[in-house]
Chain A
Amino acid sequence: MPRAATLLRIAAIGLLVGFLAAPQRFAPLFAPLTQYGAPPIYDQGNLLSLALAHLGTVFIAAAASTLVAVGLAILVTRASGAQFLSLSRTLANIGQTFPPVAVLAVAVPLVGFGQTPTLIALFAYGLLPIFENTVAGFQGCPPAVIEAANGMGMSARQRLLAVELPLAMPLILEGVRLSLVINVGTATIGSTVAAKGLGEVIIAGLLSNNTAFVLQGGLLTGLMAILLYDAMVMLERRLLRTVPA
């Protein structure tokens, strides 16, 4: 099975890179989906630069979410911050419950059109999985291990860095992965407020009734999400090779 997985992975990477490098080569495939001689491949912008901008937005938002969510989770799992746990949980939940489209609608009047409102929406949307997973990771540290760390004479900081973070790392990374993958898809709506990204292709297709555009925008986004998920799983395994399950 690992062989099949590797082949599938190579095929997916090949497809993504091939399409982005030379989209016109796939024109015959998409041509049957167009009507009245409309272009089968998106021609109002460079697909490669759109894909890179899309990924860039997702990564910046995920980095910010990770920083804030992990920081917050550390704070509320200390004895001094325990009283803020339910408040932080509520905040992270609101971030997830509030639809990103609504966040965009609120953000645009405040910060204008472009990438910034999209970053805000993705940041808020990605907080919850990372926050909840990090809290669960800390709370899952065996009490005897924490007791031993204290008994050995570790300071609170040493205990956090040397014991709690490494033990919580599998769950933290899983949270980051979830958040990343959700946001690859969610980032497409950023194009409604003029953020550069693959959503542009989908929206152009919807406006001009061009199914080929919608499909290639969706396919590229999907491929990136799958490959990102896959890459994160591999990264997790690599980083955590020394940590027993």
Chain B
Amino acid sequence: MISIEALTKQYGAMRVVDEVSMSIESGSITVIVGTSGSGKSTLLRMINRLVEPTSGRVLIDGNDTASMPAHLLRRRIGYAIQSNGLFPHRTVAENIATVPRLLGWEKARIAARVEELLRVFQLDPVACGSKFPHQLSGGEQQRVGVARALAAEPALLLMDEPFGALDPVIRSKAQDDLLDIQRRFGTTIVLVTHDMDEAFRLGDRVAVMRQGRVLQHDRPGVLLTRPADPFVTRLSGTADRALKLLSLTTAGELAEPGPRESRTVAAGASLREVLSDLIWSGAEAATVLNPDGTSAGRVSLARLLAHGRQS
């Protein structure tokens, strides 16, 4: 658990981050979203003290982060950035081994960890490990950047617009991979983005920032249905908010008992996808199938529409 208490950063007369307090649950993904200049990156960088707060404090599992030297603190926190910042003079394997080496891990343990991470990130350990970053594609570089951030098994991972430089297709894949990896390692993630769709897709909680203040910090659905500020409404967009709301829930969560339908959808599909499928096929309802092929119940068009209604 991370507690941010009245955290403030002031440059001259300008308060870039203004008394922000929030708590972040362990094992969750929190997305900080805002326009440029909102202070979201500064807030993130104060967590690992790349920026020293003017006042306020950050507690990780009850320990004040100011109580240890900044560079030692950072070795325990993963950090991934947009332009990935890979070391161009080191191989992919050496890049990933950076923090374990700083921590003085044994060679065999480092090698095993590097290989494990390359596999998890779908990079061939033999072919890829000895390559230099400039020999990789943009998507691969980005994955190596995240793998490097996770190398020393940090409980907390900070990400500053990690997918900003990727094209839409690769970005979508990278977001799915991140969700998988988060589930696999149970890492607490704090991610900064300016893209509200990305925030809704990844965040268990979303914090909307403007002019150094957090306007609202809540579950994505609440941001849509009960926005605390007109700016939150503006940022999330009003034209497709019903569909956005549907995209936050999976078919499995909404399924209810009922007769078997000829149309079937996967339990993991979002309601937005189910709605699209029903419109496309002209069906009134579909049966929801678990991954093992058993029925989880059914969802009807009427129930879908009711779920997308502002409540």
Contact = CB atoms under 8 A, between A and B. Distances in A.
Contact of A152 (B82, B83, B102): B102
B88 interface: yes
A5 interface: no
A163 B50 CA distance: 18
B56 interface: no
A79 interface: no
A164 to B, nearest CB: 11
A23 interface: no
B90 to A, nearest CB: 8
Interface in A119-161: 142, 144-155, 158
Among the interface residues A144, A145, A149, A152, which one has the most CB atoms of the partner chain B within 10 A?
Answer: A152
Nearest to B103: A153
Given A144-B81, A152-B79, A153-B73, A158 B88 contact: no
B1 to A, nearest CB: 22
Interface string A19-52: 0000000000000000000000000000000000
Contacts of A142: 83, 85, 88
Nearest to B91: A242
Interface string B35-59: 0000000000000101000000000
Interface in A206-245: 242-244
Contacts of A158: 102
A83 B123 CA distance: 45
Given A153-B74, A153-B102, A148 B87 contact: yes
A244 B50 contact: no
A151 B88 contact: no
Contacts of B50: 147, 150-151
Interface in B48-99: 48, 50, 71-76, 79, 81-89, 98-99
A243 B88 CA distance: 7
B146 to A, nearest CB: 12
Interface residues of B, number: 25
B79 A148 contact: yes
B85 A148 contact: yes
B87 A154 contact: no
Contacts of B107: none
B86 A152 contact: no
A96 to B, nearest CB: 30
Contacts of B231: none
A151 B79 contact: yes
A163 B87 contact: yes
A233 to B, nearest CB: 19
B134 interface: yes
A244 B79 contact: no
B85 A153 contact: no
Given A152-B99, A154-B102, A244-B88, A147 B71 contact: no
B85 A147 contact: yes
Given A166-B89, A167-B89, A148 B84 contact: yes
A145 B85 contact: yes
Given A145-B88, A243-B89, A244-B134, A150 B102 contact: no
A151 B89 contact: no
B132 interface: yes
Contacts of A244: 88-89, 132, 134
Interface in B125-140: 132, 134
A72 to B, nearest CB: 24
A153 B99 contact: yes
B74 A152 contact: yes
B99 A147 contact: no
B88 A167 contact: yes
B84 A144 contact: yes
Contact of B72 (A150, A153, A167): A153
Nearest to B145: A148
Nearest to B82: A144
Nearest to B135: A244
A167 B90 CA distance: 10
Q: Which 5 A-B pairs have the closest CB atoms?
A: A148-B85, A153-B75, A151-B79, A153-B74, A144-B85
17 contacts: A144-B81, A144-B83, A145-B86, A145-B88, A147-B85, A148-B81, A149-B85, A151-B48, A151-B81, A153-B72, A153-B76, A153-B102, A154-B71, A243-B88, A244-B88, A244-B132, A244-B134
Given A151-B50, A153-B102, A242-B89, 8 more contacts: A142-B85, A144-B84, A147-B50, A149-B87, A152-B148, A153-B99, A244-B132, A244-B134
